[in-house]
Amino acid sequence: MKRLYPLTLLLVLAVAFENCASTESSVNRAGGAKIDLSSHLSQLDSIERDLKNPKTDDEKAKLLLSKGKLLLDLGKYDQAISSLSAIPALKSNHVNQSEWNLYLGKAYIGKNEYAKAIPHLNLSEKLDKTYNPERKKLVVQSLVAEREYYPALATLTKTYTKGNQKKDEFYFETAAKTYLKMGFEYKNTSFYQKSLQVANLGLEEFPENETLRSIQKECLEVLQPEGKL
């Protein structure tokens, strides 16, 4: 029987308990992605063995990056951050800095620490010239969570304009929800009107979307008594 290192054994128990309703070989994570649990744990066990042997800083950094990504996939955000945060202390490492910042940003989002996630996501984008709409969406999500509404809307608009993307459910939900939050916080009906407008447009494209339907209802409850329709 293959020997598991202590950290990997703890992960087996933790992930198995957390996902007891899932299949034995896979677990579902955010965004509907299915993770091959046995493969991830096997890779982590291999990395733990490799880290116990003398390595150059560059080799160790790459192992820690891979370890951090695997832990991130498993939803072990604290452990992922710990692994990724150990990399900068290594004097000679050539890990992909855009990738490193992206993983760290995602891990902080997993912990709902959006203020810490934003600079890492922005730096990841600055270092990577390849257009990445999913990374942009993470930035928008974090900005909204931090109540940075105007930057969030600007980034959201830029994401779909620059990439020539068709506006999807994420766009309509995020824009409508952001305007709704602004209306509530600033006590300004014009934001409710904007939220309703976006929700209505979204429902034309996605008539079964319950989030947009709920936002539409909330806006109408505010605007109808005010005679602002």
| pLDDT of amino acid 20 | 45
Look up the domain containing 199 and give its range: 166-229
Residue 180 lies in a domain: yes
| pLDDT of amino acid 12 | 47
The packing angle between helices 210-226 and 189-205, to 10°, is 140
d(CA 200, CA 215): 9
Residue 62 lies in a domain: no
SS3 for 205? helix
Residue 225 lies in a domain: yes
- Does the pLDDT at position 159 exceed 50? yes
pLDDT tier at 218, thresholds 50, 70, 90: very high
Counting beta carbons within 10 angstroms of the beta carbon of residue 100, is it exposed (0 to 12), middle (13 to 18) or buried (19 or more)?
buried
Residue 205 lies in a domain: yes
**DSSP code of 21?**
T
Q: Which residues contact 218 (CB under 8 A, 6 or more apart)?
A: 180
d(CA 104, CA 111): 11
Question: What's the full length of the chain, in residues?
Answer: 229
Q: Is the dihedral of CA 76, 78, 84, 89 positive or negative?
A: negative
Are 148 and 185 spatial neighbours (Cβ–Cβ below 8 Å)? no
Residue 209 lies in a domain: yes
> For the chain, how many structural domains are there in total?
1
Kindly report the average pLDDT of the chain as a whole number: 87
- Does the pLDDT at position 16 exceed 60? no
- Does the pLDDT at position 190 exceed 50? yes
| pLDDT of amino acid 7 | 53
Residue 212 lies in a domain: yes
- Does the pLDDT at position 21 exceed 50? no
Counting beta carbons within 10 angstroms of the beta carbon of residue 109, is it exposed (0 to 12), middle (13 to 18) or buried (19 or more)?
buried
pLDDT, tens digit (0-9, with 9 covering 90-100), for 106-142: 999 999 999 999 999 999 999 998 888 889 999 999 9
HSE of 194, CA atoms in CB hemisphere, 13 A:
15
Residue 183 lies in a domain: yes
